[in-house]
Amino acid sequence: MTESAGKAKKTVGDLVAQDYRTAKVFEKFGIDFCCGGNVEITEICRQKGIDQAQLQRELEEVTSTPVDRSQNYGAWELPFLADYIVNTHHAYLKENTARIVGYANKIAEVHGPHHPEVIEIARIFRKIATDLGAHLREEENVLFPAIRRLSELAKSGSAKDAEEIGALKQSLVALTHEHDEIGAAIHTIRDLARGYQIPDDVCNTFALTYKKLEEFEDDLHKHVHLENNILFPKAAKL
């Protein structure tokens, strides 16, 4: 099997987990690599009518040089990766989510009569913010501490607690489902916002809100990718 054929049989999530630089290529072709990453290259090209040869040429081009260790997330130990997610992506959400809710509510009130889509965008984002609060607490207080404990036990060769392993598996299933729901919601916002195109008749707050929503989506894609495609599969093997 050639290298290109081998890549075609791998899922989108697998390829991005191996080399995050491929994410930019998938984004360019409109391919979801985080929540919808569990699909083979051949199948996603068929579904979307994408020239598979062109996609694979671009994937090979971006991966032609060795990956920098700072982006080789798949090689990181699980506790280190969990800490990175908390310090980078959870910190971003805690700093920005409530602020974006405020912006979205404001433009819904001011511009809703002429741009009714922003009323729905504000409603959806309020639910995302609420759901994320509980989601982050589950990860920080339950899942990540369990991953750290089980990783240490695996290193030392000590026996693992069957009850804790069962709880970890249940948590992984629930959190993956929540990722799917939040990912679908942010994609709905993108569609309502027409790809975050800013209308001509709006104020600076409207433009800022769309910019922050797009930034939020970009961060969420990487955040969910690190968990769905790297952290969670490795944790499941513990």
- Select the more confidently predicted residue: 69 or 156: 156
* pLDDT of 197 over the 70 cut: yes
User: What share of the chain in percent tops pLDDT 90?
Assistant: 69
Average pLDDT over all residues of the chain: 90
Q: What is the pLDDT of residue 69?
A: 73
The secondary structure element, H or E, covering residue 187 is helix 162-192
Whether residue 3 is predicted with pLDDT greater than 60 in this model: the reply is no
The predicted structure's pLDDT at residue 158:
78
* Average of per-residue pLDDT across 45-68: 90
C-alpha–C-alpha distance, residues 17 and 229, integer Å:
6
The answer for residues whose C-beta is within 8 angstroms of residue 110's C-beta and 6 or more apart is 203, 205, 206
Would the pLDDT of 4 be above 60?
no
**Domains of the chain from N-terminus onward:** 3-71 (1.10.3910), 77-236 (no CATH)
pLDDT of residue 61: 92
The pLDDT score that the predictor gives to residue 23 is 87
Q: Is the per-residue pLDDT at 1 higher than 50?
A: no
Q: Please, is 107 exposed, middle or buried when counting C-beta atoms within 10 Å of its C-beta (0-12, 13-18, 19+)? A: buried
Q: What is the pLDDT of residues 30-46, one digit of tens each?
A: 888 887 778 899 999 99
Alpha-carbon gap, residue 205 to 209, rounded angstroms: 6
